[in-house]
Amino acid sequence: MPPFQFVDWWGRESHHGTSVVVKMENPNWSVLELESPDGDFQTGNKERGRNAKQLTWVLLLKAHRAAGCLAWMAHGLWAVLFAVKRRLSTSPGSSSFANRPRKGKLYRAIIFVLAFALLMLCFELVGHYKGWHFYTPHLRMPHSPDLQSLLQSVYLAWLYAREHYLGPSLQALANACIFMFLLQSVDRFTQCLGALWIKVRRIKPLPHLESFELGDVEDSEAEYPMVLVQIPMCNEREVYQQSIAAAAHLDWPKGKILIQVLDDSDDIEVQDLIKSEVQKWQQNGMRIVYQHRVVRTGYKAGNLKAAMNCDYVKDYEFVAIFDADFQPQPDFLKRTVIHFKGNDELGLVQARWIFVNRDENLLTRLQDINLCYHFEVEQQVNGVFLNFFGFNGTAGVWRIKALEESGGWLERTTVEDMDIAVRAHLCGWKFIFLNDVKCVCELPESFETYRKQQHRWHSGPMQLFRLCLPHIVSSKISKGKKANLIFLFFLLRKLILPFYSFTLFCIILPMTMFIPEAQLPAWVVCYVPALMSFLNIMPAPKSFPFIVPYLLFENTMSVTKFNAMISGLFQLGSAYEWVVTKKVGRASETDLAGIGQLTEQEEGLATTEQELPVPKLADPLQPHKKKVNRIYRKELALALLLLTASARSLLSVQGIHFYFLLFQGIAFLVVGLDLIGEQVS
């Protein structure tokens, strides 16, 4: 029988309220003592002399606070109900059955667990109401044939199966997940120690030379290498101008740089806009070319591969890659390419991202926490101690020789950046991460966009792991680097992390409420996750007020990451989905014009204000696809499962488990109703 007994709690006497003793003295009221339920009545001199007017004001203030609290709760409940109604009326698929998304196997599994939880909750309530409080040594099967005896027999059979079969199996799975959880926590704690060591010791990659410029003023540009700048884009109406302008203002000799605008847009109007923008900069003397593929295969990898096949690429030594929403500072190339000088083993220099819209809404704030930890801790520690990390796909400079020796861009996965980084590492090339070189970009502002991005980022590594494992084992790198790639880079951080996050906190924890023979200790449910969230949020100290929403949101995202990991590992259909991350275009005209003025002052350009093509934001009157907030069924099903488990936990008087399940269920409900990101009216 479970260690927590419902009978004892159910029959316990409870005290309602607190006793107040009031004494009449002359015409005034005097409060003598507030007596606790279990304590003896004591007289004292506390609060004597308080008159009736003072007591009335206290009561009025308390009533005012209570009314305000009730009004706030009513307003919040009304807002939630209105949001639910709006979601149900505007969600895609609500008007047409044919347009509804296909139900996946994971959704069916969650619905099965939810149905089981609801059935067990009803069964437990009926059992306790009927007084079926059985202990295992005293179980006796009834012999009368009536309906109540039949239900009692089913209840006894359920208790027996729970104790001898379901409980041990669930506890074994929980123990395995707890071991994975502790292993991943140790890895994260070790990385944080490495980041702290780097910060205390002020470890920083330093180039062998300070500048490319020689003493000879007449030939100061001779030592500058040839650099190719690539800007891959696809239907980037909102950001194409600012990205091209930022690349055009890079501080590099004009004869030593070429900008490739790699447009994969299928919208003819967007193609014409980008062509026109490129022509403006060409007329202004900038070496920039426009390239559009007729056969658009391979997504971004195919786009970059086609660009590298151009004949003129052989004249260039390095290639810098920027996605369409990235805006490098004018000195980006001077601060990154200099590290290649005198370091022939260096294949990649990666810069850090910063976000122009991190304070836009709660979703962008939580993303900023994750990515600050990724760059400040993961990338920096791996770069300093291992000279290897996953290429972020943008804001980096590659040695073209390293790309060619590694096999170039391949279209076999949805994470072409990680693919080329792993293959370059197997070929012996080293990487450098520069935490002080920052490139401005955007974060997804809607949950739909963020969800699709995370699906691609977590399904691709599993595809890559299946393809690269034989090459890793047979490569010539050291055994330590092989172990790091297989066990840390892929298994622990890409497979085990999403697996235990979803299984432990979204399935096993609520099931332990209905199968109490299996238990999760409080330190697994609360204390260790809180510590890990604290470590994650340390690189972004201004985000400490969001530590609780961050912890809850990371658990809600585990269902998306788990689904993506499974689809990538077993090559399911959704593993090869590629959806371009939608941008809003948060950079203003003033910011981009300021870049142009700064470059003009430094280099003494002769262009006038009329000749300089100042970028403009996309016309807000242009027709766009209609946006709607969606309803996410897996998240809503998990919300119902966790809230059901919290109700069962309340019956069992489990404090910390109840609060975790309650708030985590509310978090799933908020995400399932798409209330966390951009709201469309």
Q: How far apart are the first and last CA of the chain?
A: 52
Angle between the 547-569 and 362-373 helix axes, to the nearest 10 degrees? 70
Query: Which range scores top for mean pLDDT: 26-40, 266-280, 640-654?
Result: 266-280
pLDDT tier at 13, thresholds 50, 70, 90: very low
Look up the pTM and report it: 0.81
Arithmetic mean of pLDDT, 32-46: 44
What percentage of residues in the chain have a pLDDT greater than 70?
77
pLDDT surpassing 60 at residue 444: yes
Catalytic residue from among 263, 325, 368, 417: 417
In DSSP terms, which residues pair with 369 in a beta bridge? none
Secondary structure letter of residue 287 according to DSSP: -
pLDDT tier at 652, thresholds 50, 70, 90: confident
Q: Tell me if residue 417 is catalytic.
A: yes
In angstroms, rounded to a whole number, what is the distance separating the alpha carbons of residues 122 and 209? 73
3 state SS for 560-606: HHHHHHHHHHCCCHHHHCCCCCCCCCCCCHHHHHHHHHHHHHHHCCC
Task: Return the pLDDT at 199.
Answer: 95
Mode of pairing for the β-strands spanning 396-399 and 346-355: antiparallel
In angstroms, rounded to a whole number, what is the distance separating the alpha carbons of residues 552 and 467? 34
Task: Return the pLDDT at 307.
Answer: 96
pLDDT surpassing 70 at residue 10: no
pLDDT tier at 604, thresholds 50, 70, 90: very low
Task: Return the pLDDT at 228.
Answer: 98
pLDDT tens-place string over residues 506-544: 999 999 999 989 999 999 999 999 999 999 999 999 999
Task: Return the pLDDT at 127.
Answer: 67
Task: Return the pLDDT at 136.
Answer: 44
SS3 of residue 529 by DSSP? helix
pLDDT surpassing 90 at residue 499: yes
Task: Return the pLDDT at 89.
Answer: 66
Task: Return the pLDDT at 584.
Answer: 76
Task: Return the pLDDT at 222.
Answer: 78
What residue spans of 475-496 are helical by DSSP H? 479-483
Q: What is the mean pLDDT of the chain?
A: 82
Residue scoring higher pLDDT (610 or 530): 530
pLDDT tens-place string over residues 547-564: 999 999 999 999 999 999
Given CA atoms 301, 304, 309, 314 in this order, what sign does their dihedral have? negative
pLDDT surpassing 90 at residue 187: yes
Lowest mean pLDDT, pick from 161-175, 211-225, 454-468, 595-609: 595-609
SS3 of residue 677 by DSSP? coil
Residue scoring higher pLDDT (322 or 128): 322
pLDDT tens-place string over residues 315-348: 999 999 999 999 999 999 999 999 999 999 999 9
The residue behind tokens 């009031």 is 22
pLDDT surpassing 50 at residue 162: yes
Task: Return the pLDDT at 678.
Answer: 75
Residue scoring higher pLDDT (608 or 653): 653
Q: Tell me if residue 264 is catalytic.
A: yes
Residue scoring higher pLDDT (56 or 302): 302
Arithmetic mean of pLDDT, 606-611: 36
What percentage of residues in the chain have a pLDDT greater than 90?
61
Arithmetic mean of pLDDT, 555-581: 86
pLDDT tens-place string over residues 58-92: 788 888 888 887 887 777 777 767 766 666 666 55
Tokens representing 180 are: 């994975």
Task: Return the pLDDT at 90.
Answer: 62
Task: Return the pLDDT at 580.
Answer: 76
Given CA atoms 629, 632, 635, 641 in this order, what sign does their dihedral have? positive
Lowest mean pLDDT, pick from 192-201, 464-473, 618-627: 618-627
pLDDT tier at 101, thresholds 50, 70, 90: low
Backbone φ and ψ of 34, nearest 5°: -105, 115
Catalytic residue from among 263, 264, 325, 674: 264
Mode of pairing for the β-strands spanning 430-441 and 346-355: parallel
Arithmetic mean of pLDDT, 116-145: 65
pLDDT tier at 655, thresholds 50, 70, 90: confident
pLDDT surpassing 90 at residue 96: no
Task: Return the pLDDT at 617.
Answer: 37
In angstroms, rounded to a whole number, what is the distance separating the alpha carbons of residues 236 and 353? 19
Task: Return the pLDDT at 147.
Answer: 60
pLDDT surpassing 50 at residue 259: yes
In angstroms, rounded to a whole number, what is the distance separating the alpha carbons of residues 102 and 570? 19
pLDDT surpassing 80 at residue 151: no
Secondary structure letter of residue 523 according to DSSP: I
